[in-house]
Structure 1
Amino acid sequence: MYNEKLLREATALFPEIKKNKINECKCIDLKKDGDVIKRDPRPAYESIALKKDDSIILDFEDHYVGYLSLDLGYEGAHPDSPVLLRIRFAEREIELFEDASEYKGWVSPAWIEEEIIHVDIVPSVVKLDRRYSFRYVRIEVVDISSRFSLRVNDASLTAVSSAPDEALLPYYSSNELDREIDRVAVKTLHDCMQTVFEDGPKRDRRLWIGDLRIQALVNYVTYNMNDMVKSNLYLFGALTQEDGRVGACIFLDPKPEVDDTNMFDYSLFFIVILRDYYKRTGDKKAVLDLFDVCKRQIQLASNSLDERHVVRDSDVLGWCFVDWNLALNKQASAQGIFMYALEAAIELAQCVGDVLAEEEYAQLYLKLKEASNRFLYDVEKKLYVSGAESQISFASQIWMVLGGAMEGKAAERLFDRMEACPEAVTMVTPYMYHNYIDALIKIGKKDVAHRKMSKYWGGMVANSADTFWELYNPEKPNESPYGGTIVNSYCHAWSCGPAYFLRTYFNDTKDES
C-alpha cells in the first residue's frame, strides 16, 4: 500500500548529510599469529615506492563512513602502462586477513568492501565513487610496469553523516568504562545516521525497524534529531505491504520502497517506536497521521492467535526475528512482544481519544496475559516455555517480563531461575542483550543490568571496538555466522543501546564546584 501524503512528509524531513574531510592516517604493518594480530608502524606512506605485489595498510585511527581519495604519483621512468590496484576496506584489522576470493558464505559477496581498479594516468587523483565503512585501507599493486614505481602522495577521506556533532548532549560519569562504552555507542549511532537511520553502513545500508527502535531511543539522549525519527516512521507508514503490514525494512534508492520481508515482531515495533516518539516530543499530529497503521498491525497480529489467545508457533506464525539464533523457538517471545506492543497501542489510543480502540486493546492485553501464565508457564520449572518442545530460553523470559506477564518480585525470581537454568537457550546478539538490560532495569535490578552491560559491551571495547558490532560472542570474538568476518557488520545500529541506558539510568550529576 502506498500513501503519497505520508511519503511527501517523510522525504521533506530528510536531514542534510554533513561532510568532514579527514587527512590524517598512519601507515602500519599487520601480522597474524593465531588469534593475535601484531601491529607495527611503517615509514610514512608517502616515502614508500610500490612495485608489483607490494602493498601498504593505512589506518585512519577511527571508524568512518565515507569516500576515499588517493593522490597518486610515481618515480622512475614516465609511466608506460596503467596501474592495477586492489583496494580493501576494513572496519577491523581481522578482515584484512581474509581472502575475498575464498569467501563461501550465504550473504552476497557483493557486500565485500573491495575495489579492483585500473589507473590509466599517473600522476592523478583517484576518487572512489562508492561509499565505504572503514578504519583501515589496504592498497595493493596487483600489476605495474617495471619501468616505474607507484607512490601514494596523499590519502584522505570525506566522512559523511547526518548527525550534528555540535548538538551532541554531554554525558557525565565518574566511571571510565561507562564513558568509553558511551563514546563507542554514540559513534556507532553517528555513523549509522545517514539519510535514514541505517542498520549498518557497511552491509544492508537501509532502514530496518528493529534497529530504528533502539536508534530512536539513543537519539533522544544524544543528538535529538527528532524530525529524523519522524521521517523514518512516516516512511514505514507510507510504504506498507499489500495487506497493510509494516515491512521489516525500507529501501531508499532508486526510490523509497518497502521490502517484501515481514516479521511478526518488527511490524508490532512500529507501534512502540511511535509511542516513544510521542512521549518524547508530544507530536500528536504524528500519532493522528499514523494511528490507523498501528491499528492494522494489531489486527494482523491478532490473526496469529489461537482460540486460547496464544500466538501460534512458527509453522503458522511465520518469521518472528527476536534474535539471530536458528535454534530459538519464538512463540513465547512473540506472545510477550504482542503484549509489549499492546501497552503502547493503549497509550496511543488514549492520545487520539479512540475510546473503543483503547477498551479493545486493554481487553485483548488481559486475555494475552492470562493465556501467557496459563498455557506458557511451566509450574514445575517455574519458567516460561515455548513451542511444541517446551523450550526454555532467555528470550522467552525477557519478553514475558517486558510484556508485563510477570512483574515485581515474581519477575526477579523468574530471572534468578533463568540464570540458573543450564538448558536455557542463551542470547546471540547485542540486539537481544539490549532487551535483556531493559528487562533487568524494569524489574529493579539496575546494578545487575549495569554489571551485565559493562561486561558484554565492555568486552567489545577490550577488543578495540571503534563502533559496536552486529554480533558478539565473548567466547569467540571473531566468530561470523555468515561464513567470514569480511561480511560481518562491525558498526551496527542495534548495538548502540548502552548510550540510552547510561544516559538515562547511570548519568552522574556534573560537578559544578
Structure 2
Amino acid sequence: MVKNLKLLDKALQLLPEVKETVVEPLDIAAFLKPLKKGDSVEIDFGRHLVGHIKLKLGYVRSHPDAPVWLRFSFAENKKEFEERVEDYQGWICSAWVQQEQVHIDLVPGEYFLPRRYSFRYVKIEVLDVSSKFDLIIEEAKAVALSSADDSRLSAYHSENKELEQLDRIACNTLHDCMQKVFEDGPKRDQRLWMGDLRLQALANYETYQMNDMVKGCLYLFGALPMENGQVGACVFLDPEPEVDDTSMFDYSLLYVVALWDYYKQTKDKEALRDLWETARTQISLAQKRVDNGIVRDRDVLGWCFLDWSLELNKQAGAQGVLLYAMQSAIAIAQELRENRDAECLKGTYEVYRKAAKAYFYDEKKGLFVSGENRQISYASQVWLILGGVVDSEEGLRILHNVAADREALEMVTPYMYHYYIEALLKCNADEEALAVLTEYWGGMARLGADTFWELYNPKNPDESPYGGTIVNSYCHAWSCAPAYFLRKYFGEN
C-alpha cells in the first residue's frame, strides 16, 4: 500500500481534538418507574447527538439476586424503532443497526456503554430480570462528542424564520459529522468520504471555519492514494490510516475542486504546492477514460456515483464532473505558475467541452442525453452546465426544460440537490435556487428532522437505497448545504 509519510504526518497534526458535552434527557420522569421483565422505556435527549450513554441503576423490593438482561436501541429518527433488525434483508451489513444486548451483573451501580452511537432517542427493554426485584433507571445521561468549536459559529439572520430553521438544522448536521475527521455519517459509515468532504468544507467555511481540519482531511487523501495514484472514495483513520479499496470517477476528481476551494478560502500556497501533484494525477487518470474527447460509458456498478440511483446513466454526468474539475486544475496551475500544465489543461478542456456539446446535446429536445439509450436526467444537465459546456442563459433554458420533462430521471439525495442549486446559481437563477432549497430541505424539516438525512425523496420519504430504513443515515454530511448557500448567498450574513 502506498503511503506518503510526510503528508500523513502533516495530516495527523492538523486534525482536531474531539470534545465531550454532557446532555440531559428532556423528561426524566418518563423513565423513573419500576421495570419488570418485558417492560421498556424510551428516552428522548431533545436533539440529535453523537456519543455514549451513562446510566445509574437502582432497584426496589428485594436485593438483586441475578444479573439484569437489557436491550438498547438507538435511533436518530423514531422510524428506526418501527423496523426489526431480524426482518432486514438489505444489501448493506446489518451490523450497522444500533442495537446492543448487555448483561449487568451488579445493581445498584453505574453503567457506561463503550460504543459510540448516533441518536436522539434510546429505547431500553428489559429482556429478563429476577422476579425478586424491579429495576429502576435512576439517571440517564449522554456524553456528546464533536470537534466543532461552537464559539466560532455566528447566528444566521433572515426575515424568513423558515430559513433560519433550515440553517440551524444544517449546522447541527455538520456539527455532529465533525469528529476527528469530517465523517460522512456518524451512524454510518463513520469515515471520511471525498464527495462528502467537498460539501462539508464549503459549509465549514461559512460556519465553524475550522479550516485546518479541512486541510488535514485533504492531506489524508493525498497521503493515502490507491496503488495507481488515484484518490480513493474514502479513507479510514482507525486502527491506522488507510485508503479503502473503493474508487469513484467523480469523487477522485472532486479532490481537485476541494483543493481549489480550500486555497480560495485560505490562500495557503504551501498546501496548494504540497497537494498539486495529487490533484494533477486525478486529471491524468481520468483522461485515460476519454476517447475522442468523450468519457467512455461503463456498466460497472459504482464506477461513478453522482446520485443514489441504479437507473441513472453516468456518462454525461461524468463528463461534466471532469470538465468541472479541469476548471479548478487550470486555476491551480495558473496560481502556481505551472504554465505548461495550465496551457495543456486549457487546450484539453476546450476539446472536451466542445466534444461534450456535440455528443450529448439533443437540439430537438433542448437537453443533454446520456448513454446509448439517450437517457434524460437532472444529473446530466446539472453536471454539464457546471462543467461549462453552455453559458448561463442556455443553461437556465436547459434546467427549465428538464423540469418540464416528466420522463426525466429525478434526483434523490441532498448531495445531488446541492449541485442542482449550484447550477441554478451559476445560471443567475437565485430565486429559483432558494425556492428549491426551501422546498426540498424544508420537506425534511416538516417531517421533524433535527439533522438532515442521507437520502430524501419527497415522493417517497421512506425510500432506502439499502433495502430498509433501519440502516439509513438521518444525519449525513452531504445534506448540510443550507448552511453554505444561505450564509453565502442569502440573508444578512
Q: Aligned partners of 2:181 and 2:119: how far apart in 1?
A: 19
Is 1:66 the counterpart of 2:67? The answer is: no
Measured against aligned partners, the alpha-carbon deviations of 1:184-232 in whole angstroms (never above 9, x if no partner) come to 0000000000000000000110000000000000000000000000000
Partner in structure 1 of residue 339 of structure 2: 355
Q: Is the 8 A contact 2:11 2:217 kept in 1?
A: yes
Q: Is the 8 A contact 1:69 1:155 kept in 2?
A: yes
Partner in structure 1 of residue 478 of structure 2: 494
1:95 to 64, 71, 80: 80
Trace 1:384-403 onto structure 2 (pairs within 5 A): 384-403=368-387
Residue identity over aligned pairs, in percent, reads 54
Letter matched to residue 185 of structure 1: A
Partner in structure 1 of residue 325 of structure 2: 341
Measured against aligned partners, the alpha-carbon deviations of 1:421-465 in whole angstroms (never above 9, x if no partner) come to 122111011100010011001100000010011000000000010
Trace 1:310-459 onto structure 2 (pairs within 5 A): 310-315=294-299, 319-459=303-443
Describe the SS at the equivalent of 1:173. Answer: coil
Q: Is the 8 A contact 2:25 2:43 kept in 1?
A: no
2:259 to 257, 263, 274: 274
Q: Aligned partners of 2:489 and 2:422: how far apart in 1?
A: 11
Trace 1:47-86 onto structure 2 (pairs within 5 A): 48-86=33-71
Query: How many matched pairs?
Result: 492
Letter matched to residue 230 of structure 2: R
Measured after TM superposition, the shift of residue 103 of structure 1 is 1.4
Partner in structure 2 of residue 31 of structure 1: none
TM-score (norm 2): 0.98
2:461 to 454, 477, 487: 477
TM-score (norm 1): 0.95
Is 1:238 the counterpart of 2:223? The answer is: yes
Measured after TM superposition, the shift of residue 170 of structure 1 is 2.4
Is 1:227 the counterpart of 2:228? The answer is: no
Partner in structure 1 of residue 111 of structure 2: 126
Describe the SS at the equivalent of 2:294. Answer: coil
Q: Aligned partners of 1:416 and 1:139: how far apart in 2?
A: 50
Measured against aligned partners, the alpha-carbon deviations of 1:97-144 in whole angstroms (never above 9, x if no partner) come to 111122111110100001100000100111000000000000000001
Describe the SS at the equivalent of 1:369. Answer: helix
Measured after TM superposition, the shift of residue 489 of structure 1 is 0.1
2:161 to 171, 176, 187: 176
Letter matched to residue 488 of structure 2: T
Measured after TM superposition, the shift of residue 316 of structure 1 is 7.5
Q: Aligned partners of 2:369 and 2:47: how far apart in 1?
A: 44
Trace 1:249-288 onto structure 2 (pairs within 5 A): 249-288=234-273
Q: Aligned partners of 1:442 and 1:262: how far apart in 2?
A: 28
Partner in structure 1 of residue 30 of structure 2: 44
Measured against aligned partners, the alpha-carbon deviations of 1:9-35 in whole angstroms (never above 9, x if no partner) come to 0000110111101123326xxxxxxxx
Q: Aligned partners of 1:408 and 1:64: how far apart in 2?
A: 41
Describe the SS at the equivalent of 1:444. Answer: coil
Q: Aligned partners of 2:126 and 2:7: how far apart in 1?
A: 50
Describe the SS at the equivalent of 2:127. Answer: strand
Letter matched to residue 228 of structure 1: M
Partner in structure 1 of residue 27 of structure 2: 26
Measured against aligned partners, the alpha-carbon deviations of 1:49-88 in whole angstroms (never above 9, x if no partner) come to 0000000000001000010001010001111110000000
2:233 to 248, 252, 255: 248
Measured after TM superposition, the shift of residue 473 of structure 1 is 1.2
Letter matched to residue 7 of structure 2: L
Partner in structure 2 of residue 15 of structure 1: 16
Is 1:189 the counterpart of 2:174? The answer is: yes
**CA RMSD after TM alignment:** 1.1
Q: Aligned partners of 1:414 and 1:478: how far apart in 2?
A: 30
Letter matched to residue 419 of structure 2: N
> Structure 2: where are the runs of 5+ without partners?
none
Letter matched to residue 54 of structure 2: S
